[in-house]
Amino acid sequence: MLKITDIEVIHLRVPAMDADCEWGEDAVIVKVHTDKGIVGIGEADSSPLVVQACIEAPQTNFYCNGLKRLLIGENALEIERLWNKMYWGSNYMGRRGAGIHAISAIDIALWDIAGQFYGVPVHTLLGGKYREKIRCYGTFIPADKPEDNVAIVQGLKDQGFTSIKFGGGVMGDDPDTDYAIVKAVREAAGPEMEVQIDLASKWHTCGHSAMMAKRLEEFNLNWIEEPVLADSLISYEKLSRQVSQKIAGGESLTTRYEFQEFITKSNADIVQPDITRCGGITEMKKIYDIAQMNGTQLIPHGFSTGILLHASVHFLAACEQGTLMEFSQSSSPLFTSLVKNQLQFDNGFVAVSDAPGLGIELDEELIAKYRVN
């Protein structure tokens, strides 16, 4: 038995608390401590203070527990049982959204602990690795002026990326600006590079999304991501029948239950669970199986810290069809420096680590610098 003795929640933030915060500039990580000195590391890409509350809250009733209270004294190696205990015991406030984000962080840390305990990488615990490296696509927030994106794309080409995606910022606010940015990016990327766009649901309606997809056909987009909210399954289903590009979505969804509905009813070509939101590694396995059974490609969302990247690499390495992952271009120190042994990108790929657990080493000085709590 490997007893859980503490769950430490660490809130990191680069800007001041009252300042605007961009993707990648804050983070919430967990350290699950055990009585044998093994410490597991996980994270949730979510609102840090809300996740902290979900973990540290006292009991309200038997369906409304903070997650830490449920796990102290438990055997850290019984991962599936502990996932179910957390899900059941936080049912009133944690069945979806931030409650599952918090479970995700702890679950990732438990897999890290198990790998360290058994002396094997997480991908071995998941059934073994299918590949030694995983192809990456570079994600960036586009510059407001279309012409300013040319240098960004050239920088990605110089790094060796053969696939890129952009979204956020002004993307989705104005049809003509969207067109001009996509045109500038495609011309800079050239005809051979894969180009994807992410609207973060800012096209809002099926009609507008279909119109814009038709307008952008000349640029040969590989996929269009989250044109509308993932809640609008009818819009996704209509779009998939009307447009030539692949339709992708699902980063905001949690648990196999939401993904089962999205995969079977939206007719999306690509589903994009985030391992730090959907329920962690344990739930991601189930979502992958649902996607495979329904002919849907799974390409994880990932735009946070190196913890997320390490967890995604181990998961995808153990998936027969886990051949593509997102690689953030954030300049935030929480992305570039939080994990000291950051995954090394080389000519379009990242190598799969064989270190025990997730193989993560955190920069404790950086944590001290940006820690809020």
pLDDT at 131 over 90: yes
In this predicted model, what pLDDT tens digit does every residue of 101-110 receive, in sequence order? 999 999 999 9
Provide CATH 3.20.20.120 ranges for the chain: 125-370
pLDDT for the residue 18: 87
Q: In what order do the strands lie in the sheet with 39-44?
A: 4-13, 26-34, 39-44
pLDDT band at 162 (very low <50, low <70, confident <90, very high): very high
Provide CATH 3.30.390.10 ranges for the chain: 3-120
pLDDT for the residue 210: 95
**Cα first-last separation, the chain:** 31
Distance CA 70, CA 103 (A): 11
Distance CA 315, CA 325 (A): 11
Distance CA 310, CA 163 (A): 20
Nearest one of 176, 172, 243 to 210, comparing CA atoms: 243
**Residue 184 one-letter amino acid:** A
As a whole-number percent, the residues of the chain with pLDDT over 90 amount to: 88
The encoded tokens of residue 71 equal 């796990």
CB-based burial, 198-237: b 16+ in 10 Å, e otherwise: bbbbbbeebeebbebbeebeebebbbbbbbbebebbebbb
Nearest one of 346, 355, 272, 342 to 314, comparing CA atoms: 355
Distance CA 1, CA 211 (A): 58
Domain with residues 3-120, CATH architecture: 2-Layer Sandwich (3.30)
pLDDT at 328 over 90: no
Distance CA 117, CA 114 (A): 5
DSSP for 214-237, written as a single string: HHTGGG--SEEE-SS-TT-HHHHH
Distance CA 88, CA 94 (A): 9
pLDDT band at 344 (very low <50, low <70, confident <90, very high): confident
Q: Which of 23-27, 75-79, 341-345 has the highest mean pLDDT?
A: 75-79
Quickly list H helices, the chain: 48-56, 67-71, 79-89, 91-94, 98-118, 122-125, 149-159, 175-189, 206-215, 233-242, 255-266, 280-293, 306-317, 333-336, 364-370
Mean pLDDT confidence for 334-343: 89
DSSP tag of 205: S
Mean pLDDT confidence for 337-355: 91
Domain with residues 125-370, CATH architecture: Alpha-Beta Barrel (3.20)
In this predicted model, what pLDDT tens digit does every residue of 16-53 receive, in sequence order? 888 888 888 999 999 999 999 999 999 999 999 999 99
pLDDT for the residue 342: 86
DSSP tag of 9: E
Mean pLDDT confidence for 153-166: 94
pLDDT at 330 over 90: no
In this predicted model, what pLDDT tens digit does every residue of 278-314 receive, in sequence order? 999 999 999 999 999 999 999 999 888 999 999 999 9
